[in-house]
Amino acid sequence: MRKSKSLYLLAALALIMGSVHAQDLTTGGVLTASADNASGADGSEGSKKVVDNDITTKFLCTYTSPLLMQLQFSAAQTVGQYTLTSGNDGPTRDPKTWKLEGSNNGSTWTVVDTRTNEAFPDRKQTRVFDIASAPAAYLYYRMNISANNGSTLFQLSEWRLLGASAASGVPSALKALALSGTTVSLSWTNNSVNNSSFELQRSADGTNYTTIATGATTTYMDTKAAINTTYQYRVRAVNKYGSTAYSTVASVTTYNSGGELLDMTDDGGVLTVDKENTNVNENSPHLIDNNTGTKYLIPQAQLSVPADYWMMYKAVKSKLLIYYTITSGNDAEERDPKDWTLEGSNDGSTWVQLDKQTGQTFSGRGVTRNFYLSSSATAYQYYKWHVTAGNSTSNVPSQIAEWELYGLDPDAPLPAAGLTVSNVLVSSVKVTWTTSSSATVTGYELQRSKDTDENFETITTTAASANNYTDAGLLGGTRYYYRLRAKAGDAVSIFTNVVDTITVWDPELPLTPQALTAAVTSDTSVLLTWEDKSDIETGYTIERSTNGTSFTLIATVDANVVSYEDTTLTMATQYWYRVRAFNAKGTSNYTDVVDVITSGSNTAPTLDAISDIETCNTSVQTITIKGITAGEEAGQTVSLGVVSDNSNVFAALSISNVVNGEATITYQVNGVADTAVVTVTATDNGGTLNEGVDTYSQSFTVIVSPIHVTITANPGTLINRYETVQLTASGAATYVWDSAHGIVGAQNADVLTVKPTVNTLYKAKGTDAQGCIDSASVVVKLDTDYNLKPVNVLTPNGDGKNDTWVIWNISSFPNNKVTVFDRAGRSVFHAVNYTNTWNGTVNGAPLAQGTYVYVIELGNGIEPVKGVLTIIRDRN
């Protein structure tokens, strides 16, 4: 709920003549000025306008310091007060610093009054200034204005000199409106031009009055009234020379309610309008956003003449409406509401009219007006404001900056009373109260504040039957304030009176310092201040923590010192502090802990970009990362982390610590074709406070592309007897063929020539430029039947024909045994699983040319094959 804005005394100078009897000396003087308007002294904004007794005109000129305005009288005049009225334009043109001077010869001047850095918050605002010293009579008076508020122009609507007479003009139209059980709003009309203030009095019996307020405003909020009590109020105008009579008495009875006045539009209810604006910057939520700088605008296209629109607020629960406020929008006044009704309902369909207004206007833009209900007897949950006409005779958009509803919770209990403290010990206090008379009370909320009657915090909520509470765990020698309110479910009463006490303390020990504060003075320093509550301390110890738990002593200062600047900090870092006093007898308690975050913000660490990798190598490999730095804070370290989005790619993946700005990633791929994105994250210890950044990541891609060796055969892998085959390997850079039957030529090229006589497996191992290895194999088979067909001629002369003894299809009979005998019956060759490789030698020596007998045992009960083999040596 926004508080009423204090107003300066607004004087209607037109009242000077007539019923107001203050002695206005101005009319009898002759005005001259050190500078004037271009139109001259008699012009529309000339200097004579400043004494024409009309606040709607003004004196305007170029400002040069000092600006002098002089009144000369035919006889010496005694001035007791003077008034100044601000002009209608910007306040930078208003006078700010001046002297009122008097003279009897026009050359020798005496300072009568001095004002410095004065301000006129409102336009056409009249302020009264008293002459502090005993007034003297002078023939000449002048305003010596040494400064305005910064403009190159000067403006003033009126300057009036008043005699030394008592305040005149009795205040009128005193109104007293009850706003709650304990609050009364008072306002009145000022009819005086020479009063310095007002004196407001209150009575509970109509006879005995007590002054409750003095001040220059024409409004006052009496918040000390009693519930369901009738009061009489009166007011009079006062200045240093005397006062007026009292005004007519205004009587009012406060509500029989213990609740505080609430802004209903802040309770989280629902606002509905019949005409919405699609522009989110001017739509209906701005109507209740507690910001008079925004507004709800109803577009012209949705309106007609007269303007007709409504808005409805459904509160969370029913409340008793006391008054409502409307704040004008920022655009032309023709867009303001003029006629309307306000209705209440508890079902949203059956409505009761609560207020009706016609012909209303707003004195300016952003002006808030209060509208009080003539009576408030029923609480409603729904409130509808229905505008039936705007301030224009043509169709224009409509606007409202703010609409607020103020009311009382009918469920609020009456407050407790008689709050007192007793049994005051070193660390505890007993708080006692008289319970509320409301039967609906469910408990009491007790609040405490330390060394202030503000900033209360709830310390307990008691049962409904409780009338006391012992507050333990307090600091000795410390002042505590308490207040209490009754609760009835979610409804609460107003608070009781505030009571305070000081806990007991050993008189030989220093009292605990209070109100410790920590203010940032730079990125690396904090200023600590506290209140000295002791007269016997020797000094103070200051402790600091970086986690709020473990504290370290950082300084000791002398007695009566109440500040310390810690200049050894790190920017954008949170610190906790506590202070205590000490002397030869011991120490005080610690202050409350305060925390603070130093200014500045951490910048992200860095590391160089990492190139993508394509590999087939399954051995352990490394990558060097460079350019690793921490943020700008001094003394930071950087830690690294590495992760992959595809765990199937890697058999191992890790990263080292940072050394001299570099680190190493170690990895080993599984060798299966796949892809992974690897992310390296650098984290420094500068933190993220003050929107700092402490991490930075770089990602790169690892593509695993293993080589794949293949073999092709020309003319194919199924060949005829004595046919030559070319095997070609591909998919690698270099090749090595395993030794095997029938190889003709080199075995370290991609092409291998073979001429097998049995089905033979040929295997090639390929290696690429990265050292990746893959193997492939192929079986070359003979295209023939499976009958055993030994060749009966062997000519081992190296011509590639019959150089070895070939037994066709021998490979079809595993575990075969082949034996060759000479004519003497001696065995010259024997082999098991013969592979067509014998070249007619025995023990490395060639057999003689001639005929030999062979026996081939095939096993499995097959009849051995026998025959004659002829070896020919000299055949070419």
Once rounded to an integer, what is the mean pLDDT over residues 436-458? 91
The DSSP output letter for 706 is -
With CA atoms as reference, report the closest residue to 481 among 461, 457, 464.
457
> Which residues have CB under 8 Å from 861's CB, separation 6+?
none
Reply yes or no on whether the pLDDT at 516 is more than 60: yes
**Residue 324: pLDDT above 60?**
yes
Which has the closest alpha carbon to 509: 432, 407, 563, 589?
589
| Degrees, nearest 5: CA angle 448-454-455 | 65
For residues 416-442, average pLDDT: 96
238 or 635: whose pLDDT is higher?
238
Residue 453: pLDDT over 90: no
In this prediction, residue 482 carries a pLDDT of: 97
Instruction: Judge whether residue 361 has pLDDT over 60.
Output: yes
Task: Report DSSP letters for 219-233, one per residue.
Answer: EEEE--PPTT-EEEE
As beta bridge partners, residue 653 has 667
Condensed to tens digits (0 to 9), the pLDDT of residues 852-874 reads: 999 999 887 788 999 999 999 87
Q: Are 159 and 51 in contact (CB under 8 A)?
A: yes
Residue 92 three-state SS: helix
122-163 confidence digits (pLDDT tens): 899 999 999 987 789 999 999 999 999 999 999 999 999 999
CA 4 – CA 7 distance, rounded (Å): 9
Do residues 334 and 391 make contact, with C-beta atoms less than 8 angstroms apart?
yes
Minimal CA–CA distance to 327: which of 272, 290, 372, 276?
290
pLDDT in tens, 594-603: 999 999 988 9
pLDDT-derived band at 875 (thresholds 50, 70, 90) equals low
Q: How far is CA 247 from CA 13, 552, 633, in A?
A: 20, 66, 69
Q: What would the pLDDT profile of 663-673 be if each residue is shown by its tens digit?
A: 999 999 998 88
Contact (Cβ atoms closer than 8 angstroms) between residue 774 and residue 707 = yes
Rounded Cα–Cα distance for residues 310 and 659 (Å)? 71
| 279 φ/ψ angles, rounded to the nearest 5 degrees | -80, 115
Q: Could you identify the residue written with the tokens 């007006």?
A: 369
| The pLDDT of residue 590 is above 70 | yes
Q: Is-cis flag, bond preceding 135, omega within 30?
A: no
Q: Report pLDDT for 368.
A: 96
Q: State the Cα angle at 313 between 309 and 318, rounded to 5°.
A: 145
186 close to 219: Cβ distance less than 8 angstroms: yes
Distance CA 411, CA 148 (A): 55
- What is the reported pLDDT for 814? 85
Tens-place pLDDT, residues 793-828: 989 988 878 889 999 888 888 889 999 999 998 999
pLDDT at residue 616 is higher than 90: no
Residue recorded with tokens 């209070």: 514
Please give the full DSSP string across 121-155, using - where no structure is assigned: -STT-EEEEE--SPP-EEEEEEEEEEEESS-SEEE
Cα separation, 558 vs 544, in Å, equals 18
Give the list of residues 6+ apart from residue 735 with CB closer than 8 angstroms, or none. 709, 729, 748, 749, 750, 764, 765, 766, 767
For residue 22, what pLDDT is reported?
65
Other beta carbons within 10 angstroms of residue 474's beta carbon come to: 20
pLDDT attached to residue 671:
80
Q: Which residues of 397-418 are buried (b: 16+ CB within 10 A; e: fewer)?
A: bbbbbbbbbbbbbebbbbbbee
Backbone angles phi, psi at 364, to 5 degrees: -170, -175
CA atoms within 13 A on the CB side of 476: 16
Can you tell me the distance from the alpha carbon of 142 to that of 32, in angstroms, rounded to the nearest whole number?
9
798 Rama sector, left if φ>0, alpha if ψ -120 to 50, beta otherwise? left
Helices (H), 646-732: none
**How high is the mean pLDDT of the chain?**
92
Question: Considering only 275-279, 510-514, 642-646, which range has the smallest mean pLDDT?
Answer: 510-514
Confidence at 164, pLDDT banded by 50, 70, 90:
confident
786 pLDDT tier (thresholds 50, 70, 90): low
Residue 18: predicted pLDDT = 34
Please count the residues of the chain: 876
Q: List for the chain the helix, strand, coil content (%; round to 5).
A: 5, 45, 50
In the numeric block, which tokens belong to residue 687?
């933190």
Mean pLDDT of 755-769: 90
Q: Quick check: 493 pLDDT over 80?
A: yes
69-83, 111-125, 672-686, 770-784: least confidently modelled range: 770-784
Q: Is the pLDDT of residue 446 over 90?
A: yes
| Mean pLDDT value across residues 759-787 | 87
d(CA 145, CA 97) in angstroms, rounded, equals 6
What is the percentage of the chain residues whose pLDDT exceeds 90?
81
843 — alpha (psi -120 to 50), left (phi > 0) or beta?
left
Place of tokens 């000390």: 224
Residue 18: which residues within 8 A CB-CB, separation 6 or more? none
In this prediction, residues 173-196 reach a mean pLDDT of: 93
Confidence grade of residue 19 (pLDDT, cut at 50, 70, 90)? very low
- Across the range 746-754, mean pLDDT stands at 94
Report the C-alpha gap between 558 and 540 in whole angstroms.
6
Ramachandran region, residue 349 (left: φ > 0; alpha: ψ -120 to 50; beta: rest):
alpha
